[in-house]
Amino acid sequence: MSRWILRRLLQGVITLAVVMVLLFLLMRLTPGDPLGGIAGDRLMSPEEMQLLRARYGLDQPILQQFMTFARGAVQGDFGTSIHRYPDRVGPLIRDRLPASILLGGTVLLLNFTIGIGLGVLQAVHRGSRFDRWLTRISLAAWALPSFWLGLVLIAVFSLTLGLFPAGQMQDPLLPADAGPLTRLVDLLHHLALPALTLSAVSLAAGMRFQRTAMLEVLRLDFVRAARARGLPERRVIWVHAWRNALSPVVTLLGLWLPMLVAGSIYVESIFNWPGLGSLAAEAISGRDYPLLLGTAMLTSVLVVAGGVIADLGYLLVDPRVRDS
């Protein structure tokens, strides 16, 4: 078991090393000068550009640039942001992480409670009106582009009804000494629309996956046997059947884990949510190499970690995997 975990971790490290090289090369191959728009519409002299190139090491040979990047990346130091000079990339990401975890965590929580719960109920009541309507709604939600849904929710609930703020994670006028309850209510108020936007789409996926997995399990003999033994239906469903229908959802969990921090670039941008998604969007649009590499590496780490966690999840929920 421990050898297996060690092997998976080693694979993860190798994957990350490859990703690091690819990310660096792809970024340098992408057309566009990261210093081009640094002064907005103000024209910069060649001397000024030269000084800036030296500041960010962009005047060094490409191999030298990569070595500097790799050395820093191993230590978690991605250098200084180009468009937010003198801010360091590390603290910038650290500052944005809580907002992303909050939004992504809320979405994951909703997916794995409401989404899975509704998926199981759909399977149990297969073919009922409840199942048919939820299928239609979930397919419609799955088809909606999240940025469009976000704009519609803002137009209706913020600009027309005035029920929720159109953006931000907190009221900019909230006093620095505001109490924790005030902060909590303000936070939930601002969280509602972006979380709903992201959940509406991904919740549908959770429902569909869980419904399908559950339907397959409900047909199996051991479920019939459990019922024949006279066990209560609730116990049959949630203890016997559901546990065996969890594997696909564990896969989803692994896939969704990066969302916990990367969030959605579009949704974070339109809600002005100060998370890593909007930070990455800003880095992409400005070709802010250090910031872009920092956010991309973090996402890569989470993708790899998601895979490892999903594998560990299989071990927990499925004894057959453990034995093999």
Partner 1 sequence: MRIAGLVLLLLASATPAGAQPRAPDTGTIVIVVGQEATTPIPTIPATKANGDIMSLLFLKLARLDGSRGTVGDRGYTPELAVRWSRRDSLTIAFELDPRARWHDGRPVLPRDVVHTFARVRQPGVDPQVRLLARHIASVTAEGDRGVVVRFTLSYPEQYYDAIENLVPLPSHLVDTIPANRIASSAFAQAPLGNGPYRWVRREPGRQVELAADPNFFLGRPKLERVIFLLARDYEAQINLLLDGTADALENVNPPARIARVNARPSYRVVAGPSYGVGYLLFNFKAYGDSTQPHPILADPAVRTAIITGLDRSLILRSTLGPYGSIPEGPVAQLHWIRDPGWSAPKADPVGAAARLRQAGWIDSNGDGILDRNGVPLILRLNYPGTNAVRATMAAQVQEQLRHLGVRIELVRLDGPVWLARRETGEFDLDFSQAVMTPSPTGLVQSWSCGGMSGSNVGRYCNPRIDSLLLAAALGRTDPGPLYREVLRQIRVDAPAVFLFTVSNATAVHTRFQNVQFRPEAWWSLLWKWSVRPGAQIARDRGVSR
31 near partner 1 (CB under 8 A) = yes
CB of 154 to partner 1, least distance (A): 6
39 near partner 1 (CB under 8 A) = yes
Rounded Cα distance between 65 and 21, Å, is 12
151 near partner 1 (CB under 8 A) = yes
Q: Are 295 and 96 in contact (CB under 8 A)?
A: no
For partner 1, give the closer residue by CB, 41 or 221. Answer: 41
> Minimal CA–CA distance to 195: which of 84, 103, 70?
103
Q: What are phi and psi of 247, to 5 degrees?
A: -55, -50
Contact string (CB under 8 A) for partner 1, positions 113-142, x = contact: ------------------------------
117-130 in b/e burial notation, b at 16+ Cβ within 10 A?
Answer: ebbbbbbbeeeeee
Residues 64-123 that bind partner 1 (CB under 8 A): 84-87, 91-92, 95-96
177 near partner 1 (CB under 8 A) = no
> Minimal CA–CA distance to 124: which of 249, 253, 242?
242
233 near partner 1 (CB under 8 A) = no
Rounded Cα distance between 150 and 283, Å, is 22
Rounded Cα distance between 8 and 14, Å, is 10
158 near partner 1 (CB under 8 A) = yes
CB of 58 to partner 1, least distance (A): 13
For partner 1, give the closer residue by CB, 220 or 284. Answer: 284
Residues 266-305 that bind partner 1 (CB under 8 A): 269-272, 274, 278-279, 281-282, 285-287
Q: Give the side-chain half-sphere CA count within 13 A for 180.
A: 0
Q: How many residues bind partner 1 (CB under 8 A)?
A: 61
For partner 1, give the closer residue by CB, 84 or 227. Answer: 84
Distance of CA 34 to the CA centre of its chain: 26
> Minimal CA–CA distance to 277: which of 102, 74, 156?
102
Binding site for partner 1 (CB under 8 A): 31-34, 36-48, 51, 84-87, 91-92, 95-96, 151, 154, 158-159, 162, 165-169, 171-176, 178-179, 181-182, 184-186, 269-272, 274, 278-279, 281-282, 285-287
